A and B are shown apart, each in its own frame.
Chain A
Amino acid sequence: SAVISQKPSRDICQRGTSLTIQCQVDSQVTMMFWYRQQPGQSLTLIATANQGSEATYESGFVIDKFPISRPNLTFSTLTVSNMSPEDSSIYLCSGGPWNEQFFGPGTRLTVL
C-alpha cells in the first residue's frame, strides 16, 4: 500500500491569486492523478501527472489554469492559477496502478 500526504490541508485565498498544492507519496508510483470536487459534485479528474513529461488534461481543464509538475515518482504539485470563487473545491491527488489507487486526504480551497 501507499500513503499519500497533501499540503496544505486547507486554505482561504483571494481572487486573482494562485495556490500550489503538494502531493507526496511514500513509495514510487508510476501514475499520479489530480481531482477536484466542487460543492455538491462528484470527484472530477483534472489531469494525469506524468513523470518526465507534460501532464495530460481532461476535457475542460487547461495547463494555463492548472499547471502540474511531476519531478519524480513520489511527488507532484498542482497549481490553481488566477483563482476565482468558482475554484472553491476540494482538490485530491491519487497514485497507484489501475487496481489499487490510493488517495491523499485532500486540500479544501476557499476563494473569496
Chain B
Amino acid sequence: ILNVEQSPQSLHVQEGDSTNFTCSFPSSNFYALHWYRWETAKSPEALFVMTLNGDEKKKGRISATLNTKEGYSYLYIKGSQPEDSATYLCASVGAGNQFYFGTGTSLTVIP
C-alpha cells in the first residue's frame, strides 16, 4: 500500500479565481502519478499521467507539475469556472500497476 495524501480536503473559490491543489506520495519506487477529475454519479475522468521528474502537463486551463525526488505534484486551475466543480483525485501507481489514491480535493466554484 502506498500512502498518498492530498490537500486541501475541500476548496471553495469564486468564478474566475485561479487555484491549486497538492498531492504527496512516497518518492521511493515511483512509477507514475495520475490526476483524475470525478463528478458525482460519473466515472473518474483521466486528466494527466506523469512519470518523469519535472514533468509539466497542460489541458486547457488545467495544468500539473511533478517532483518525484521530493514526492509531490501540483494541479493548477486557471480562471475557475462552475463546471470545474468536482473532486480531483491523484493516484500513485505501484509495482503491480495498482493505483493508490489520495483522499481527493473537493472543489466548488461559486458563480
Q: Which of B1-41 contact A (CB under 8 A)?
A: 1, 6, 31-32, 34, 36, 41
- Quote the shortest CB–CB distance from B48 to chain A (angstroms): 11
Contact between B101 and A99, CB atoms less than 8 A apart? no
Contact between B43 and A101, CB atoms less than 8 A apart? no
* With A4-B43, A42-B89, A105-B43 as contacts: A97 and B97 at CB distance below 8 Å: yes
* With A59-B1, A98-B32 as contacts: A43 and B89 at CB distance below 8 Å: yes
* With A104-B43, A105-B42, A105-B43 as contacts: A98 and B104 at CB distance below 8 Å: no
| Interface size, chain B (Cβ < 8 Å) | 25
Closest A residue, CB atoms, query B42:
A105
**Residue ranges of B at the interface with A (Cβ–Cβ < 8 Å):** 1, 6, 31-32, 34, 36, 41-44, 46, 49, 51, 89, 91, 93, 96-104
**Residue ranges of A at the interface with B (Cβ–Cβ < 8 Å):** 4, 31, 33, 35, 41-45, 48, 56, 58-59, 92, 94, 97-106
A-B contact pairs, 9 of them (CB 8 A): A41-B103, A42-B103, A56-B96, A98-B97, A99-B32, A99-B51, A100-B46, A104-B43, A105-B43
